[in-house]
Structure 1
């Protein structure tokens, strides 16, 4: 449902996606009618308050679309007669994004693990283990005394013992020793551990290694563009260079401290709590930013109680700004 909607010569609808919003306040800074206001970003980020990061004054909003165009995280959409202005040739467009080269990807899954927004999913198919290890196993349930040493020692958890009831002795006896060949690697640990020689292993993996097929891993990587904030974690962590990210801003973030205003580190960590990129850590009692994954969104600057965070954006990667008034307003986002 649209956050703001007005019908006239044109049907204009402004949609706010709270799950995508990072609370940076960029939209608030460019709104010409002061219709946008940030909520308590820090308490919301810490889970103390359950409310939207952005509040929209329905009465003041003129549905101009500046906020939608300025948001680098696609948290606000303006639609005119059902068409998103991001798809219109008349409105600005962000020249940003993350791309994955499927030819270079090895489906290691590191990008999925490190992504701070859960925007990447790696699906991979591994070959059957039984096709890569070769051997033979012989078990003798008559020798087995049901001590379960083999099941406890097996590093692949491939062995289980089935039992049957001996009614004459009111005890359970071994009926069979079961080995899951999909898990077994023929390491012989069970054979060496068995006190009754109930398991015999022959491993022929090394002898028949020329017959073992090459390990081939297939799969695909799903990147949810609507969730991705182009922070560059995946780009920096990818071991094969298969991922490339272009961020919304070029520039730098620094902590400018003095005797009166200084970082309180572990006792505060407000910047760390609100950072949507997991770019801030506390080291030796001071906040440190990983500039490789910082998007320069400014969320941290807005909540810093000491006001020591300085952000300089040298470039804003926003194109197709045709209106001079919009150029003036959006130009305030960069130095």
Structure 2
């Protein structure tokens, strides 16, 4: 798997290199929080996750300004950033990803396959067959790809014989403002641990807009980074692995809000293709936050909308800078008259 990954050299000085592996990145922005120079940019995590923008979650603003200190790589919970010295990866225990105990399975495993079915990252493979010794049991192997594991704990939770051990990267606090949340589902799709979901309501039942699974959450902050209306607050309260020089990262990460996101996309419209239906205006979570009636389909209000509006039967972008880059407008448009395109980070 590692051999198939794309690797980007973010910065280098003398014999050291900072390497980024986009396939391992979950868009959490922990590295952005840790960077002492504020030289990393993250944004459009929702649109990228949804496949609406061809880009990586993370960018380096100025390669020349990078100190190649490795603090970002030390903080990364998935190993998407790594430091190399003289071409060899530095693997000491001052790096969170290296200090975490790998998710492992012991001999009690019955190869039932529940862990494979539930893993949100698809990094577990179970091979099994019927025992040939005359006993009613399965034999086989349960392989966990520790390079893509995010340590969410789903596998350990569903294992019927407690054969799997998981160590999480962080403890934390997760909160959401019910009044601000517009149920755009960006957080649900972005979460690498399947820790956020929408409850199914029975007829006449009222449920919260978004529900959080604390036991699955790794408190990475990807949901907060991706939320287009800043309705979610994630704070790390502890770094759990026994890592070297932990105090440096604790000062950078603990009790800090999600990093500020960069507007890495812009909205393009095709007025000739636009039908003027207003679907994008209604579904836009930024619009809905500014006008609660919009989410119910009320387009008759002629007051100027926050981000998107229909004027003279055609879609208009009113304030580009307010876009949350979730991509809801592009997904709902029936004629591809609005889209997000990548723009350079300044």
Q: Which moved more, 1:300-309 or 1:33-42?
A: 300-309
Q: 2:27 corresponds to which residue? A: 23
Q: 2:280 corresponds to which residue? A: none
* Alignment pair present for 1:250 and 2:171: yes
Q: 1:118 corresponds to which residue? A: 122
Larger strand proportion of the pair: 1
For residues 161 and 172 of structure 2, the distance between their equivalents in structure 1, rounded to whole angstroms, comes to 26
Is the contact between residue 126 and residue 143 of structure 2 (CA under 8 Å) also seen in structure 1?
yes
Mapping of 1:128-143 within 5 angstroms? none
> Secondary structure at 2:147's aligned position in 1?
coil
For residues 327 and 296 of structure 1, the distance between their equivalents in structure 2, rounded to whole angstroms, comes to 14
* Closer, same or farther: CA 317–334 of 1 in aligned 2, 3 Å: farther
Larger radius of gyration: 1
Q: 1:234 corresponds to which residue? A: 155
- CA apart distance, 1:322: 3.5
- CA apart distance, 1:324: 6.7
* Alignment pair present for 1:316 and 2:239: yes
> Secondary structure at 1:79's aligned position in 2?
strand
* Closer, same or farther: CA 301–243 of 1 in aligned 2, 3 Å: same
* Closer, same or farther: CA 269–230 of 1 in aligned 2, 3 Å: same
For residues 331 and 313 of structure 1, the distance between their equivalents in structure 2, rounded to whole angstroms, comes to 5
* Closer, same or farther: CA 44–243 of 1 in aligned 2, 3 Å: same
> Secondary structure at 1:19's aligned position in 2?
helix
Q: 2:182 corresponds to which residue? A: 264
For residues 173 and 252 of structure 2, the distance between their equivalents in structure 1, rounded to whole angstroms, comes to 21
Q: 2:326 corresponds to which residue? A: none
Q: 2:135 corresponds to which residue? A: 214
Is the contact between residue 96 and residue 245 of structure 1 (CA under 8 Å) also seen in structure 2?
no
Mapping of 1:1-335 within 5 angstroms? 1-6=7-12, 8=14, 11-57=15-61, 58-85=63-90, 87-88=91-92, 91-94=94-97, 95-127=99-131, 213-258=134-179, 261=180, 263-265=181-183, 268-283=184-199, 284=207, 286-322=209-245, 328-331=251-254
TM-score (norm 2): 0.64
Is the contact between residue 125 and residue 217 of structure 1 (CA under 8 Å) also seen in structure 2?
yes
- CA apart distance, 1:126: 1.9
Deviations 1:10-34 (A, max 9, x none): x111111111101011111111122
For residues 159 and 243 of structure 2, the distance between their equivalents in structure 1, rounded to whole angstroms, comes to 32
Q: Identify unmatched segments of 5+ residues in structure 2.
A: 1-6, 200-206, 259-346
TM-score (norm 1): 0.66
